[in-house]
Chain A
Amino acid sequence: MSNLSMDQAVEVALELLGTDGGVAVGEVNAVRNLRWANSSLTTNGDTIDNTLSLAAFVPVNDGVASGIVSGQVRNREDIKGLVAAARASARAAGASQDAMDLVAGAQHSNFAAPATQAVDDGLGDIAQQLSEVFSDTSSQYFGYAEYSHDTTYVATSAGTRLRYEQPTARFELCAKSPDRTKSAWSGQSAKTLGDIVVAPHSSRVRAGIAHQANRIDVEPGQHTVTLSPSAFADLMIYLLWTASAREANEGRSVFSNPLGGTRIGERLTQRELTVATDPTLRGLETSDAVINLGASSMSSSFDTGLPITRSEILSSGVLNALASSRYAAHEANLPFTPITDNIEVSDAHGSGSLDDLAARMSDGLLITCLWYIREVDPQSLLLTGLTRDGVYVVRNGEIVGCANNFRFNESPVGMLSRITDAGTAIDCLPREWADWFSRSRVCPVTVDGFNLSTRSDAI
């Protein structure tokens, strides 16, 4: 930003939007990362960026129209250009279905504070710790470390002034045997790289490689499995993303009631399982207000500034709520349910660690990671994907070896009723969705009849 700070830029944008109003969101972002493969650092990056995004509201014959634009701004002229483009798009769009009055949201006292430019200096420490890991030549190591710091300024013509800082760190370590017949992974999300110690991760992946010394061929089929918190998180995040009130109410979702309306109130599992998003989740905090530009079934520009509180999609095993914008909630005659950027999945009777759960399973498969998860059938929310980086065979409560990988075909909704045991929820990094969703606190679970459809020869 050459001439304007980002808090000034959003104020200028609102001024130029005039009495018609709108929403301005400014983001200042700094990212540093390291990547490694074959026990050597490879690529890296040190990036700074800013973006100003606008929703311009324009009165039209039959309501209020909205147009969206996003770009980098270096001076007042840049902002003028963005405002003009957004207003032109709004006029072309015509009245927005989801138009509602903006609320006068909170006004943060530090709104005008400068964006945090300096990034955590833990990257060098991570590199040093990795040099020790790489000295082990019995395996080859691969992975990624990233620290990002986002400062977000939100201003609306209704008076909302919000400023959020979101530091996010992420670390992943994968070990492979030199002949590439064994592979194990460990990952962690945190607020800073300083919160991450590499040694426990290297111990974990080395233990995984050791378990894989004994290879046991296991045929595809319906198996009793214990899913790690990371694996279960990947499935529950997909469930969360599809828990839309509008689609359910329209009859085109796994959460639709065949007799009309939604399945809210239906018990999906006999377990006291809760799936929630909560901006105040300790250690996994997120913004506590709606920040959105654009319209979808779950969000609307016109909701920006509204508070977000804890929402339980599944509450003690019962479908309790479905995510919505205000307009979608109104359409479906359901409570407004905004969701935020974290997930908590817990079982009221869950106890113990992943290892404890595997031991209680007695006989079955312990699945550490899922990968390449895609939707096959929205009606049942059938998902497919692969197991990855360790499927361990458990006999009499002990890990006795490692199985081949599998392709699964399973519904995260259908499988809820087959959960037979659960552990304690812990912070975990979802293997599949970590690029978009890293704040997860999820319990491990044991599931009967998990559909491991076909064999995968991949390692």
Chain B
Amino acid sequence: MPANPNELANSLADAALEVAAEGAATIAHVRIATHDNRIVSVRDGNVENVGTDSTTGFSVRVVSQGAWGFAATHELTPAGARDAARRALAMAAVSAAVSTDVVSLADEPAYGTASWTMPVVIDPMAVSDDEVIELLMAWNEKVSKSSAVHHVDAHAAMGRDATFFADLNGNRLSQQRFRTSAQLTASHIGEGGFDDMRTCAPPAGRGFEYLQGHGWDWDTELAQIPDLLDQKVKSPSVEAGTWDLVIDPTNLWLTIHESIGHATELDRALGYEANYAGTSFATLDKLGNFKYGSPIMNVTGDRIAEHGLSTVAWDDEGVAAQQWNLITDGILTGYQVDRNIASHVGLDRSNGCAFADSALHVPIQRMPNVSLQPGTEDLSTQDLISGVDRGIYIVGDKSWSIDMQRFNFQFTGQRFFEIKNGEIVGQLKDVVYQSKTPDFWGSMVAIGGPSTYLLGGALNCGKGQPGQVAPVSHGCPSAVFRDINVLNGRKEASA
């Protein structure tokens, strides 16, 4: 179901919108979405799971008596569509009785009938299971040859979303996007315990060609994994204290996600997520005056980045994709909003951040691609390392946690290279870095150039009740942070 506007999608939309209009809905949005996913996992040279799933849903969201009402169904019939519209109106009636906020949406032009497809070379859902399995088995074999490697786990995940949006303003918007990801983890078990090393390739808005080497050098990284693991196992445990950090984009994307991405969601700052995901220290009164970080810090939000996991043509409220500033020269200058939040705070237009992970869930404000812009001077990562006397170069993400106002965070990583006098001298292990968001970004003293820029990201960003997951990308260069608190993870356990 339906990759493009077709007779069925339009007939279902017409049926539901007619009921909504008859029910005095001032706003009515219809969404039909099909989500296809595939997972293949391999463990120690044996295929563990090969599977696909596909869900299609139909939903109606109305504003009636000033309140939202949402209903959804798997029934793709005119009767099912009409029933969903009636149930949405009923939910709005329940809500209107206890709501004090009147819902209004910021204006957005109508785009009529239009469609968009994310450009990929190979539809990841169209390749055979055999091709994916063959690839993962080859990776497994390559890495498992090393005596340092005792177990290998690898998996690939791919997805395709086909969505259709219709409203009372005449929009009939169809779009299709894709995502592909894979990870391999090698584990070592020895007398001193166990440890592991994982690939750092991020998920991407790409097709199967990504796993064949377009956009990531898998061969080189996989060849390095056994030695990196062996070195890590033999490396000394980090000395807790204050260190300078050079953070690679494969790690920094996640810190951006947690400490900037979620913190600049205006619905959070206004309290809409307070019971669950939390709020934000970056409250509206700080817009335009709050020093978020050092003057070399420039962060944008966008839904247009090439290969971005949050890239679309229109959001789930029919708003066209845009790019805008969130942090400019270290100052908070923007937020992520949907149409209701935009109207609520007096903005002329939404920046297109409404998203639902399926037609069975209501759209809420979700994160666009949020990216730290590279410096104007094209400094390499090696240039940055050269400027550090005593520090740690951190590569790859692992553990993450941040508080409910996005202040106190703690992250680990995959690889920690000790820097002495501007040179890498070997690996460290048990490194955990912890800071407070404005302090951390305020300590950013150098930033890499465009040649260090990488689009990282995640498939599993969680938010909302009922819970929803969203794929999102974060681009960034390497960067240097001065005097960051580093804990020893092993010692923390026995503190």
Chain A positions within 8 Å of B, measured between CB atoms, are 2, 31-51, 53, 67-72, 74, 85, 88-90, 92-94, 96-97, 123-124, 127-128, 130-131, 134, 140, 142-144, 146, 172-174, 176, 180, 183, 185, 222, 250-252, 256, 258, 293-296, 371-380, 382, 384-386, 388, 405, 407, 409-411, 414, 435, 451, 453-459
* A457 B408 Cβ-Cβ under 8 A: yes
* B493 A134 Cβ-Cβ under 8 A: no
The residue on B at minimum CB distance from A377 is B489
Question: Given that A42-B101, A51-B55, A92-B133 are contacting pairs, would A407 and B399 also be in contact in the complex, using a CB cutoff of 8 Å?
Answer: no
8 Å CB contact of A372 from B69, B273, B403, B495 = B403
Question: Given that A143-B275, A144-B275, A374-B400 are contacting pairs, would A44 and B95 also be in contact in the complex, using a CB cutoff of 8 Å?
Answer: yes
* B73 A47 Cβ-Cβ under 8 A: yes
Q: B436 at interface (Cβ–Cβ under 8 A)? A: yes
* A144 B495 Cβ-Cβ under 8 A: no
Q: B440 at interface (Cβ–Cβ under 8 A)? A: no
Question: Which residues of B59-104 are within 8 A (CB) of A?
Answer: 59, 67-77, 87-88, 90-92, 94-95, 97-101
Interface 1/0 per residue, B420-463 and A, CB below 8 Å? 00000000001010101000000000000000000000000000
* B129 A47 Cβ-Cβ under 8 A: no
The docked-state distance in angstroms from the alpha carbon of A134 to that of B362 is 24
The docked-state distance in angstroms from the alpha carbon of A49 to that of B57 is 8
8 Å CB contact of B69 from A44, A130, A379 = A44
Q: How large is the interface on B (under 10, 10 to 19, 20 to 34, 35 or more residues)?
A: 35 or more
* A176 B274 Cβ-Cβ under 8 A: yes
* B129 A43 Cβ-Cβ under 8 A: no
Q: B286 at interface (Cβ–Cβ under 8 A)? A: no
The docked-state distance in angstroms from the alpha carbon of A340 to that of B106 is 47
The docked-state distance in angstroms from the alpha carbon of A454 to that of B410 is 10
The residue on A at minimum CB distance from B272 is A37
Chain B positions within 8 Å of A, measured between CB atoms, are 46-57, 59, 67-77, 87-88, 90-92, 94-95, 97-101, 128-130, 133, 151, 187, 189, 191, 193-196, 270-276, 278-279, 281, 360-362, 364, 399-408, 410, 412, 430, 432, 434, 436, 465-467, 485, 487, 489-490, 492-495
- Nearest CB of A to B195, in Å: 8
Question: Given that A294-B51, A435-B467, A458-B403 are contacting pairs, would A46 and B57 also be in contact in the complex, using a CB cutoff of 8 Å?
Answer: no
The residue on A at minimum CB distance from B274 is A142
25 pairs, CB–CB < 8 Å, chain A vs chain B:
A33-B466, A35-B275, A37-B271, A37-B273, A38-B272, A41-B67, A41-B98, A43-B70, A44-B95, A89-B52, A94-B47, A134-B100, A252-B187, A296-B48, A374-B400, A374-B401, A376-B410, A377-B493, A379-B193, A380-B490, A380-B494, A382-B489, A407-B403, A410-B493, A451-B495
The residue on B at minimum CB distance from A449 is B495
The docked-state distance in angstroms from the alpha carbon of A294 to that of B400 is 28
The docked-state distance in angstroms from the alpha carbon of A359 to that of B444 is 46
> Which residues from chain A contact B494 at a C-beta distance below 8 Å?
380, 414
- Nearest CB of A to B88, in Å: 7
8 Å CB contact of A127 from B98, B270, B275, B493 = B98
> Which residues from chain B contact A48 at a C-beta distance below 8 Å?
72-75
Question: Given that A70-B52, A93-B129 are contacting pairs, would A386 and B47 also be in contact in the complex, using a CB cutoff of 8 Å?
Answer: no
> Which residues from chain B contact A183 at a C-beta distance below 8 Å?
274
> Which residues from chain A contact B275 at a C-beta distance below 8 Å?
35, 37, 142-144, 172-174, 185
> Which residues from chain B contact A143 at a C-beta distance below 8 Å?
275
> Which residues from chain A contact B70 at a C-beta distance below 8 Å?
43-46
* A372 B402 Cβ-Cβ under 8 A: yes
**Mostly helix, strand, loop or mixed at chain B's interface?**
mixed
Question: Given that A45-B72, A377-B490, A455-B408 are contacting pairs, would A127 and B128 also be in contact in the complex, using a CB cutoff of 8 Å?
Answer: no
Question: Given that A380-B490, A451-B495 are contacting pairs, would A124 and B465 also be in contact in the complex, using a CB cutoff of 8 Å?
Answer: no
> Which residues from chain B contact A146 at a C-beta distance below 8 Å?
465-466
The docked-state distance in angstroms from the alpha carbon of A43 to that of B49 is 37
What are the nearest 9 A-B pairs in CB distance? Answer: A68-B51, A92-B129, A458-B405, A380-B493, A70-B53, A458-B403, A409-B492, A142-B275, A456-B408
The docked-state distance in angstroms from the alpha carbon of A453 to that of B433 is 12
* A376 B432 Cβ-Cβ under 8 A: yes
The docked-state distance in angstroms from the alpha carbon of A421 to that of B452 is 54
* A47 B404 Cβ-Cβ under 8 A: no
8 Å CB contact of B100 from A39, A94, A176 = A39
The docked-state distance in angstroms from the alpha carbon of A250 to that of B52 is 29
> Which residues from chain A contact B49 at a C-beta distance below 8 Å?
68, 93, 294-295
- Nearest CB of A to B492, in Å: 4
8 Å CB contact of B408 from A124, A176, A407 = A407
The docked-state distance in angstroms from the alpha carbon of A187 to that of B309 is 34
* A385 B401 Cβ-Cβ under 8 A: yes
Question: Given that A93-B129, A409-B493 are contacting pairs, would A131 and B95 also be in contact in the complex, using a CB cutoff of 8 Å?
Answer: no
The docked-state distance in angstroms from the alpha carbon of A88 to that of B132 is 13
The docked-state distance in angstroms from the alpha carbon of A384 to that of B68 is 37
Question: Given that A67-B50, A376-B492, A457-B436 are contacting pairs, would A409 and B487 also be in contact in the complex, using a CB cutoff of 8 Å?
Answer: yes
The docked-state distance in angstroms from the alpha carbon of A399 to that of B171 is 58
* B401 A47 Cβ-Cβ under 8 A: no
The docked-state distance in angstroms from the alpha carbon of A142 to that of B397 is 33
> Which residues from chain B contact A90 at a C-beta distance below 8 Å?
50
The residue on B at minimum CB distance from A378 is B194
The docked-state distance in angstroms from the alpha carbon of A459 to that of B278 is 9
* B189 A251 Cβ-Cβ under 8 A: yes
The residue on A at minimum CB distance from B278 is A458
* A250 B430 Cβ-Cβ under 8 A: no
- Nearest CB of A to B162, in Å: 14
- Nearest CB of B to A206, in Å: 16
The docked-state distance in angstroms from the alpha carbon of A252 to that of B190 is 10
8 Å CB contact of A49 from B74, B404, B467 = B74
The residue on A at minimum CB distance from B70 is A45
The docked-state distance in angstroms from the alpha carbon of A46 to that of B59 is 10
> Which residues from chain A contact B94 at a C-beta distance below 8 Å?
34, 41, 44, 123-124, 127
The docked-state distance in angstroms from the alpha carbon of A176 to that of B412 is 32
* A144 B276 Cβ-Cβ under 8 A: yes
- Nearest CB of A to B470, in Å: 15
> Which residues from chain B contact A180 at a C-beta distance below 8 Å?
279
The residue on B at minimum CB distance from A450 is B495
> Which residues from chain B contact A457 at a C-beta distance below 8 Å?
281, 403, 405, 407-408, 436
- Nearest CB of B to A186, in Å: 11
* A69 B53 Cβ-Cβ under 8 A: yes
